[in-house]
Amino acid sequence: MNFDAFFQEELIFFLDVSSQEKLFQQMFDRMHRLGYVKDSYLRALSEREEIYPTGLQTEQAGVAIPHTDSIHVNKESIGVAVLDQPVTFTHMGMHDQTVEASIIFMLAIQKPDRQLGVLQVITGLIQNKQLLQGIQQADNAKEVLTIIQRFSQEQNV
């Protein structure tokens, strides 16, 4: 799998939003306008997040990995959002706990058999304290992309 191919500079966001809904809306708007996702993606994403939350607390930061079924995707991609202020997500697998997420990896995976592999690579990525810190401190999309590409090359994914 060529992990780099999922990331595009145009899908790296620096956002100041106050809620999960606003976060999803802003990321969806650009991903949809650029043809990555279908009209149905936003609703499906929100509905899936309600049932299967995606918040994860790492040593460095709260992270979320929202995603939905491949039928809502036109072109595979991963949107990355660096938030000015964290947004509350329910913790993955622990419905009674929340995570204040400041880094979001929004998956748009077209081939269902790839989703697990992509999630595994992202899990490795978010466990890298220096990498997350680099993403949080990045000044622009190109910097974020370079950090992710470097990780991808080091991990050979």
The full set of domain ranges for the chain reads: 3-155
Q: Confirm whether pTM is higher than 0.85.
A: yes
Residues 44 and 72: beta-carbon distance below 8 Å:
yes
Residues 8 and 142: beta-carbon distance below 8 Å:
no
Q: Largest alpha-carbon pair distance within the chain?
A: 37
Q: What is the pLDDT along the chain (157 residues), one digit of tens a residue?
A: 677 788 999 999 999 999 999 999 999 999 999 999 999 999 999 999 999 999 999 988 999 999 999 999 999 999 999 999 999 999 998 888 999 999 999 999 988 778 778 888 898 889 888 999 999 999 999 999 999 998 888 877 6
CA angle 34, 80, 149 (to 5 degrees): 100
Domain 3-155 has CATH 3.40.930.10: yes
pLDDT at 30: 97
